[in-house]
Amino acid sequence: MSGLEFRMDVASTVLGTLRGWPAAAVRSLGTGLALDDGPLAGVGRALLDASVNLDAGQAPDVVARLKMAYELRRAAAAPGCDELLERLEAVDEPPWPAIRVALADLRPGASDG
């Protein structure tokens, strides 16, 4: 599996945890993350993009998944990611466990990312 395929698979997993969520809830989560301007701000913007597909009753398209893959990779390399990973260890509600695994898998130096 290539690096891009791996990152797209990770992004699909994160977005898949939102299946069944109302689009408004995804937009609220995305807006909160984007406004925080922390390591997950870009992930929040990617969630806002993905919510358009959810409004139409569809799974996020390839563009939304590509944006999520890019933003997860950026977040994994951002300052403060180690602390974020530690905080996310205690959270069991979706999408946080999938985001934590994605960030850990995409950290610089991770084997597949």
Render pLDDT for 35-63 as a digit per residue (tens, 0 to 9): 998 899 999 999 999 888 877 777 788 99
Residue whose pair of structure tokens reads 């951002």 in the numeric block: 78
Q: What is the pLDDT of residue 109?
A: 78
Summarised one tens digit per residue, pLDDT across range 74-87 is 999 999 999 999 99
pLDDT at 5 over 80: yes
Query: Do residues 49 and 82 touch, judged by C-beta distance below 8 A?
Result: no
* Domain extents in the chain: 3-106
Q: What is the pLDDT of residue 112?
A: 54
- Mean per-residue pLDDT for 83-100? 95
* The residue type at 86: E
Q: Give the global pTM.
A: 0.90
Selection from 4, 86, 5 nearest residue 39 by Cα: 86
